[in-house]
Amino acid sequence: MEQIRRPFQGVLNILRFNWHFYLLSLGVLFLLFFLAGFLPGYNQRYFYGLCFLILGMSVISLLVSYYVYDLSGLYDFSWLKVLETDRRIVNISAGFDETSHLLRNRFREGELIVLDFYDPQKHTEVSIKRARKAYPVFEGTRQVNTTELGLEDDSADKIFVILSAHEIRDESERIIFFKALKKALKPNGQVFIIEHLRDWTNFLAYNIGFFHFYSKSTWCKTFREAGLKVQCEIRQTPFISTFILQKNGDTF
């Protein structure tokens, strides 16, 4: 079987693109240990407890990332049905694309269209900039914006937006984006939205980092206002949800 990802690729990318957060945590740990030395013994335990808390949160986030991105099978797409009618596949990213080559292998008989809505004026996170330098753009990728995807109406059999839709932070812009997906989708086509959710499992894993995600109710409101319905939701892990969307109807 072809090896689609290198061992530890996911968690090493987390460290590579977000090293400043872990360096900051390490600096805080050293500072707390240093300050604890000037305190009476009965007060030192509070500082040491805080150190272990910070260290524990960092280790847990890396272990969860390793599980999600390296062990869970998220990127093997074994859950995905490939139909003979799947002729045009669209993959949309936001500056960091590590799935187009995987989808190319999965849909060998279909046409793959790759879009990137990364805008350095809007997407200012340093982690995305580092990712773009580390990974070359997939050959043939089209640069688009969230309100104009440049896709023909009723032309796509399957559209994938993998861990990138949450980068559209403005609600009205996000709804326009999903309306564009609906417009490009064939009557019997499907949209696949893969995201972390702002829920208690991701809070335990990423603490305040979970605020960068959206809740399930927020996503469903966006889908509904864009005229899309949720065919089903797949939970590959407790930390990742895949919403499979179709045209028309009411969402749950």
Q: Domain check: are 53 and 174 in the same one?
A: no
Q: Domain check: are 49 and 83 in the same one?
A: no
What are 34-39's contacts with CB under 8 Å, separation 24+? Answer: none
Residue 20 has pLDDT above 90, yes or no: no
Sequence length of the chain is 252
Q: Domain check: are 136 and 198 in the same one?
A: yes
Domain count, the chain: 2
Q: Domain check: are 203 and 119 in the same one?
A: yes
Across the strands, what pairs with 158? Answer: 89, 190
Q: Domain check: are 128 and 182 in the same one?
A: yes
Residue type at 214 in one-letter notation: Y
Residue 178 falls within a domain, yes or no? yes
Q: Which of 52-56, 113-117, 225-229 has the lowest mean pLDDT?
A: 52-56
Average pLDDT over residues 160-168: 95
Q: Which of 41-45, 155-159, 212-216, 229-233 has the lowest mean pLDDT?
A: 41-45
Boundary-marking domain end, from 51, 71, 91: 71
Average pLDDT over residues 162-184: 95
Query: pTM surpassing 0.85?
Result: yes
Residue 4 binned pLDDT confidence (cut-offs 50, 70, 90) = low
In DSSP notation, the chain reads: ----S-TTHHHHHHHHHSHHHHHHHHHHHHHHHHHHTTS-HHHHHHHHHHHHHHHHHHHHHHHHHHIIIIIS-GGG-TT----TT--EEEEEESS--SSHHHHHHH-TTSEEEEEE---TTT---HHHHHHHHHSPPPTTPEE-BTTB--PPTT-EEEEEEES-GGG---HHHHHHHHHHHHHHEEEEEEEEEEE-BSSHHHHHHHGGGGGGSB-HHHHHHHHHHTTEEEEEEEEEETTEEEEEEEESS---
Q: Domain check: are 163 and 43 in the same one?
A: no
Q: Domain check: are 177 and 151 in the same one?
A: yes
Residue 180 sits in a domain whose CATH number is 3.40.50.150
Residue 187 falls within a domain, yes or no? yes
Residue 40 falls within a domain, yes or no? yes
> Which residues lie below 8 Å from residue 13, measured CB to CB, with a gap of 6+?
69, 98, 131, 134
Highest mean pLDDT among 40-44, 45-49, 94-98, 181-185: 181-185
Q: Domain check: are 121 and 53 in the same one?
A: no
Residue 242 falls within a domain, yes or no? yes
Segment 194-242, tens digit of pLDDT: 999 999 999 999 988 899 999 999 999 999 999 999 999 999 899 999 9
Query: Which residue range is the domain that position 136 belongs to?
Result: 77-247
